[in-house]
C-alpha cells in the first residue's frame, strides 16, 4: 500500500495525528523564538534572564513528561487531546494576559509542556500504535506536521506582525487551531486506549525503561541528532566563523535542511515498512556522519551545507525509525510510557548540551574539534546500540 492509498483509507486518524504535530509548533523553540523580545519585555526579563527561565521551564516540562506522558496508554486519546488542548489554551492565556511575571512563566511552561511535549507525544503515539504494516509510512506522514510549521509559520508570522501585535497573533493562531480541532474532536475516528487505568495504590505494570540496560544502550543512538543539531543551531555564528563560511550561507543551508527533511520522512517511512526499523536504525545516521566528515576535512560553505542537509535527511527519518523501534522492543500497548521516557531524556540532553559545548568553546576549542567530538559521540552511540539491535526481541519479525 502506497501513501495515496494510506491517505484515502485512513485520512481521519492521520489527520488527527498530523494536526497534533502541527499544533505542537505553538510550543516549539522556533516559534517561541520569533517572539522572544516581546515576551521578555512583558515578563520584565533581560535576554539572559529569559534564556535561563526558558531552560528552567523546559527542564520542568521534561520531568512532567515522565509523569504525565505514560497516561496515554490508558486515557482515551480523545480525552487526552481535550485535556492537553485545554492546558495549552490556559498556558497561552497566562503568557499573553497575566500581569505578573510568575504566572506568565507558568504559562510559558504549559505552552512548552503541552505544545512541544504532549502534542508531539499524542501525534507520534497514535500513528505508531494504530498502524502495523504501514507504521513507518504513517509516522513519516504525520511528522510532516512539524515540518509544515517550521516552513510556513516563521515567514507568515513575520508578515502578520506588520499589522498585529504579538499577543493578537498568538490569539489568532489559537483560534485557527481551534477551528481545525473542533470537527475532529466531535466526529473524528478516535481509537480506544490499549490498556486499563491502574487502580489507586496499584503499581503500574509494564516496562520501566530507566531500569533496563537495553534502554540506556539505545538512548545515545536516538539522542545524537537532537543533541548535536541543537549545538549547531545555538552556536551557528561560531561554527560558520571557524569553518570559514558566513551566516548568510548558513541561513540558506537552513532552508536546505527543511527541504531535506521531506524526502527523509517519506523515503524513511517507506523503508521502515519494507526493511524494518532495526536495519534502518543501523543506517539512517550515515548521511549525518558523512556530513560531519565533510565539515571537518573540507569545511567552508560546503561543510555548512553538508551539516544542514545531512542532518535534515537523518532528522526526517528518525521519528519513523525511533517510534517503530520502540514498538518492536516494548510493544504498542506500552508505547506511551517508553516514548514519554525517551522524550524526557531528549529534553534534558538538549538543555545540557549547549552548556557543555559553550564551556568547550570558552576554553578555546575550535569548532572543528567540537565536530570531531560529535562524530565520536555518533560512533560510540552506534556501537552501544548494536547489541540491542541484534537481540532476539529486535529481530523477532524482521525479514
Domain match, 178 and 222 both: no
Domain match, 123 and 221 both: no
Closest CA to 20 of 333, 226, 338, 319: 319
Domain match, 156 and 269 both: no
CATH number at residue 181: 1.20.1250.20
Q: Could you tell me if residue 203 is inside a domain?
A: no
Give residue 308's Cα distance to chain centre.
17
Q: In the chain, how many domains are there?
A: 2
pLDDT for 392 equals: 75
Domain match, 148 and 236 both: no
Give residue 370's Cα distance to chain centre.
23
Q: Which domain, by its residues, includes 266?
A: 209-391
Domain match, 108 and 216 both: no
Domain match, 178 and 221 both: no
Domain match, 260 and 386 both: yes
How many degrees, rounded to 5, is the angle at CA 318 between CA 315 and CA 324?
165
Give, in order, the Cα–Cα distances in Å from 250 to each of 22, 236, 271: 25, 8, 30
Domain match, 251 and 326 both: yes
Q: Could you tell me if residue 398 is inside a domain?
A: no
Domain match, 183 and 231 both: no
Q: Could you tell me if residue 196 is inside a domain?
A: no
Q: Could you tell me if residue 79 is inside a domain?
A: yes
The one-digit pLDDT tens for each residue of the chain (399 residues) are 577 778 888 888 999 999 999 999 888 877 887 787 788 888 888 766 777 787 788 888 888 888 888 888 888 999 999 999 999 999 999 999 888 888 888 998 899 889 888 999 999 889 888 887 788 888 888 888 888 888 888 888 888 888 888 899 999 999 999 999 999 999 988 988 776 676 665 555 667 888 889 999 999 999 998 888 877 877 888 888 889 988 888 888 888 888 888 888 888 888 888 888 888 899 999 999 999 999 999 989 999 999 999 999 998 888 889 888 888 888 877 888 888 888 888 877 766 777 778 788 888 888 899 999 999 999 999 999 998 888 877 766 543
Q: Could you tell me if residue 248 is inside a domain?
A: yes
Q: Could you tell me if residue 199 is inside a domain?
A: no
Domain match, 20 and 138 both: yes
**CB contact at 8 A, 158 and 41:** no
Q: Could you tell me if residue 198 is inside a domain?
A: no
Domain match, 230 and 162 both: no
**CB contact at 8 A, 303 and 253:** no
Domain match, 122 and 261 both: no
Q: Could you tell me if residue 399 is inside a domain?
A: no
Q: Could you tell me where the DSSP H helices lie in 298-366?
A: 300-330, 335-362
Report the alpha-carbon distance of residue 317 to residue 272 in Å, rounded. 9
Amino acid at each position: 500500500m502506497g501513501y495515496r492509498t494510506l491517505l484515502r483509507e485512513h485520512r481521519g486518524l492521520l489527520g488527527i495525528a498530523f494536526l497534533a504535530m502541527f499544533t505542537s509548533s505553538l510550543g516549539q523553540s522556533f516559534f517561541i523564538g520569533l517572539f522572544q523580545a516581546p515576551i521578555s519585555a512583558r515578563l520584565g526579563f533581560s535576554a539572559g534572564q529569559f534564556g535561563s527561565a526558558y531552560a528552567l521551564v523546559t527542564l520542568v516540562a521534561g520531568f512532567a513528561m515522565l509523569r504525565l506522558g505514560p497516561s496515554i496508554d490508558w486515557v482515551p486519546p480523545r480525552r487526552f487531546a481535550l485535556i492537553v488542548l485545554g492546558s495549552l489554551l490556559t498556558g497561552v492565556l497566562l503568557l499573553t494576559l497575566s500581569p505578573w511575571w510568575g504566572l506568565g512563566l507558568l504559562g510559558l511552561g504549559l505552552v512548552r509542556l503541552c505544545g512541544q511535549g504532549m502534542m508531539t507525544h499524542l501525534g507520534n503515539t497514535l500513528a505508531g500504535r494504530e498502524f502495523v504494516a504501514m507504521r513507518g509510512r504513517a509516522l513519516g506522514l504525520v511528522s510532516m506536521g512539524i515540518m509544515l510549521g517550521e516552513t510556513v509559520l516563521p515567514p507568515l508570522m513575520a508578515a502578520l506582525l506588520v499589522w498585529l501585535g504579538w499577543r493578537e497573533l498568538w490569539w489568532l493562531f489559537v483560534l485557527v487551531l481551534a477551528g481545525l480541532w473542533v470537527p475532529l474532536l466531535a466526529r473524528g475516528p478516535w481509537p480506544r486506549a490499549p490498556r486499563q487505568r491502574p487502580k489507586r495504590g496499584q503499581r503500574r505494570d509494564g516496562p520501566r525503561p530507566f531500569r533496563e540496560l537495553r534502554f540506556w544502550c539505545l538512548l545515545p543512538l536516538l539522542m545524537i541528532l537532537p543533541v548535536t543539531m541543537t549545538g549547531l543551531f545555538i552556536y551557528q555564528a561560531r561554527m560558520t566563523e571557524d569553518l570559514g563560511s558566513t551566516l548568510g550561507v548558513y541561513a540558506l543551508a537552513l532552508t536546505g535542511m527543511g527541504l531535506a527533511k521531506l524526502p527523509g520522512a517519506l523515503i524513511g517511512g517507506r523503508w521502515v515498512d519494507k526493511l524494518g526499523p532495526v536495519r534502518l536504525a543501523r543506517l539512517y545516521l550515515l548521511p549525518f556522519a558523512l556530513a560531519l566528515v565533510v565539515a571537518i576535512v573540507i569545511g567552508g560553505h560546503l561543510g555548512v551545507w553538508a551539516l544542514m542537509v545531512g542532518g535534515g535527511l537523518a532528522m526526517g527519518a528518525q521519528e519513523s525509525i525511533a517510534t517503530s523501534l520502540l514498538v518492536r522492543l516494548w510493544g504498542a500497548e506500552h508505547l506511551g510510557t517508553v516514548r514519554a521516557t525517551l522524550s524526557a531524556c531528549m529534553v534534558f540532553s538538549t538543555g545540557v548540551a549547549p552548556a557543555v559545548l559553550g564551556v568547550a568553546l570558552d576554553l578555546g576549542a575550535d569548532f572543528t574539534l567540537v565536530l570531531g567530538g560529535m562524530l565520536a559521540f555518533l560512533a560510540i552511540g552506534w556501537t552501544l546500540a548494536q547489541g540491542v539491535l541484534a537481540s532476539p526481541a529486535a529481530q523477532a519479525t524482521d525479514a
